Each structure stands twice: as C-alpha cells, then as structure tokens.
C-alpha cells in the first residue's frame, strides 16, 4: 500500500510526530510519498516529495495530519482522484479527523490489517453564473456580509422555484458532513453525515419565520444578491473566499464526485457527537 502524507506545517507538533511515524510506516513494508511543503522539515529523510495533486494520484490512501481545516484542505487537494483520506487530529475539536495522534500507531496497525471502512461523503459544487471557476465544498458554502454593517438580501430558489428572500447576515448551504460545523453554530440541525441532503440555514435572520430547512440532494439552489450591499463574501469550506457583487447569481448543487473518508468500525457517529458536544456530561442530581 502507498500512503500519501499531507500535514499542517504551521503546527509545531507535526515535526515531532512525523519523522518517527514515517520510519515506523516504512518498516511495515509500505510505500510513502510526502507533500512537497514538508520537505524543509523532513530534509534528512529518504522519502519522495511530490506536489499535492501528484501525492493524491499515486497514493492508495492519504493521511491528513492537522485539524478539521487541514482535512478540508486535503479534500480539496485530493479532489477528482477520489483517494480515501484518514484524518489524524493534531488540532482542537476535530469532528472530521477520525483518530487522534495519541492513537496513531494502534489505529494504523488496525488499518494495515484491513480493519477499516471507507465512507462516501457528498460534496457541494458552487458556481457564480457567467464566471469561473467552479468551487467544491465538503462542509459548506457561505454567503455573508463580511465586515459590512448592512444586512444581506438573498433571493433564493430551489429547483427553479422561488423559496424566500432572506434578510439578515447571510445564508449557509451545508452538506450533512458540514452540519456539525458553522451551520450548527448558526442553529442548524445535526444530520447524519452519510445521508444525501442539503441544509439551507439563514444566518441571524431578521424574522423568526426564517428557519433552517433540509432538502433533497437532487435540488439546485440559486441565490441572487439583492439590497444595497455592493460586495458580499462567498466562502467555500473556510478555504476559499471571493467577493460577490450586487446581482450575482450563485448556483449550488451536488457535485459529481464524493470525498472518501476512512473510518474505523468501533467509531460510531453518535458516540463522537456526544463526546464533542459534551452531551450527558452533567449528571442528574
């Protein structure tokens, strides 16, 4: 098996973890390719360094070392190659990362013995009508007012039919995977990540009647920028940000590819959810 290594180079801990781990992994008879931005910190090691897209192309599995942001960036780099990704959490909350760095070696032993599964996660495609490029999101697409003080007005349709004109700070369109990210903070529902659906969640709406909704993954969502704001933000997975102008039409739909995440049989979504959100942490009197 060939493992690709992608990591958050800004985390000091990575330079303590990776050298020893790469030696251990090589001792198991595996092949290793490493993203070229790690070259400087791993100079003495006899490993192959490649650009991120080439790492994904030649690997059977990519290990992403960092937090959820690193995994989202890794998903963007892996893209069309559909290489399974295992997230190793070196950061904070870590919903997406499947294992912690403290359990790295025993979990990799399990993986090498075949005790894992791969789950497909839906991806969003986002385009601004009449413009390039196309953006992809594993978590969410956000249209918001950024630093501007005025409210946002978004005329939204679903499947070509008028839904609502949202007035507030913006709108989040999230995947089930992204339901525990920004959408959750904005009062959205928690959705099982393997489900096929989209969440439309207004941010700080100016009427209590505007509530989050969950729609089928076959629907196309269109949002047209209205109101007085001359420039809004389009943010894709917190990784890409660009400016939207008055009258821009943003088209969001399910992408033609998925992201494949490596999971372990004993990790149950609701157990992880309870642990991260601290459900049941306060015992009854």
CA distance 262 to 217: 23
Residues 102 and 186 in one domain: no
Write down the catalytic residue from 37, 53, 60, 68.
68
CA distance 149 to 169: 9
pLDDT tens-digit series, residues 133-152: 999 999 999 999 877 778 88
CA distance 190 to 194: 12
Residues 64 and 96 in one domain: yes
Strands (E), 181-220: 197-203, 213-216
Q: Residue 30: give its domain's CATH number.
A: 3.40.50.10330
Percent of the chain clearing pLDDT 70 (strictly above):
97
CA distance 200 to 211: 9
Rg (CA), the chain: 20
**48-50 and 31-35 strand pairing:** parallel
29: confidence class by pLDDT, cuts 50, 70, 90: very high
pLDDT of residue 282: 63
Q: How far is CA 233 from its chain centroid?
A: 18
Residues 209 and 272 in one domain: no
Catalytic residue list contains 217 = no
pLDDT of residue 237: 96
Q: Per the domain annotation, does 7 fall within a domain? A: yes
Percent of the chain clearing pLDDT 90 (strictly above):
76
Residues 131 and 167 in one domain: yes
Residues 39 and 97 in one domain: yes
Q: How far is CA 211 from its chain centroid?
A: 23
Q: Residue 143: give its domain's CATH number.
A: 2.60.200.30
Which structure tokens are listed for 269? 């979504």
Nearest one of 211, 210, 252, 247 to 232, comparing CA atoms = 247
Q: Count of domains in the chain?
A: 2
Measured from the Cβ of residue 197, the count of other Cβ atoms closer than 10 Å reads 19
Close Cβ partners of 6 (under 8 Å, ≥ 6 residues apart): 35, 52, 55, 62, 63, 64, 65, 70, 73, 74, 77
- Contact between 181 and 121 under an 8 Å Cβ cutoff? The reply is no
Residues 99 and 160 in one domain: no
- Contact between 123 and 39 under an 8 Å Cβ cutoff? The reply is no
Whole-model pTM over 0.85: yes
Residues 135 and 251 in one domain: yes
Residues 51 and 173 in one domain: no
pLDDT of residue 110: 97
pLDDT of residue 201: 98
Q: Phi and psi (nearest 5°) for 73?
A: -65, -40
6, 35, 42, 99, 229 from 89: Cα distances, Å: 12, 18, 20, 6, 39
Q: Per the domain annotation, does 198 fall within a domain? A: yes
CA distance 230 to 236: 20
pLDDT averaged over every residue in the chain? 92
Q: Per the domain annotation, does 284 fall within a domain? A: no
Instruction: Say yes or no to pLDDT of 204 above 70.
Output: yes
Measured from the Cβ of residue 138, the count of other Cβ atoms closer than 10 Å reads 27
Question: What mean pLDDT comes out for the span 33-54?
Answer: 89
Q: Per the domain annotation, does 226 fall within a domain? A: yes
Range of the domain at 200: 123-256
Residues 138 and 156 in one domain: yes
pLDDT of residue 19: 93
Q: Per the domain annotation, does 283 fall within a domain? A: no
121: confidence class by pLDDT, cuts 50, 70, 90: very high
- Contact between 193 and 269 under an 8 Å Cβ cutoff? The reply is yes
CA distance 160 to 175: 20
Instruction: Say yes or no to pLDDT of 285 above 60.
Output: no
Residues 203 and 171 in one domain: yes
Give strand pairing partners of 174: 140, 199
């Amino acid at each position: 098996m060939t493992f690709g290594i992608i990591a958050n180079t800004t985390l000091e801990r990575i330079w303590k973890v990776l050298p020893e781990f790469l030696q251990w992994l090589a001792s198991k008879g595996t092949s290793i390719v490493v993203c070229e931005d790690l070259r400087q910190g791993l100079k003495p090691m006899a490993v192959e360094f490649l650009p991120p897209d080439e790492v994904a192309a030649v690997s059977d599995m990519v290990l992403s070392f960092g937090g959820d942001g690193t995994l989202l960036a890794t998903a963007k780099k892996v893209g069309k190659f559909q290489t399974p990704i295992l997230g190793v959490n070196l950061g904070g909350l870590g919903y997406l990362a499947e294992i912690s760095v403290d359990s790295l070696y025993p979990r990799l032993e399990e993986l090498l013995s075949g005790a894992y599964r791969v789950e497909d996660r839906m991806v969003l495609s986002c385009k601004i009508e009449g413009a390039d490029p196309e953006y992809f999101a594993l978590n969410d697409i956000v249209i918001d007012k950024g630093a501007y003080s005025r409210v946002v007005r978004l005329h939204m349709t679903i499947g070509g039919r008028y839904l609502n004109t949202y007035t507030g700070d913006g709108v989040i369109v999230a995947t089930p995977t992204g339901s525990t990210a920004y959408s959750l903070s904005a009062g959205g529902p928690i959705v099982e990540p393997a489900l096929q659906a989209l969440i439309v969640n207004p941010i700080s709406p100016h009427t209590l009647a505007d509530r989050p909704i969950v729609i089928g993954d076959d629907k196309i969502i269109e949002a047209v920028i209205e109101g007085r704001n001359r420039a809004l933000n389009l943010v894709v997975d917190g990784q890409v940000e660009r400016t939207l102008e008055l009258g821009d039409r943003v088209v969001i739909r399910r992408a033609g590819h998925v992201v494949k995440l490596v999971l372990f049989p004993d990790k149950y979504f609701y157990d992880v959810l309870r642990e991260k959100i601290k459900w049941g942490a306060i015992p009854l009197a």
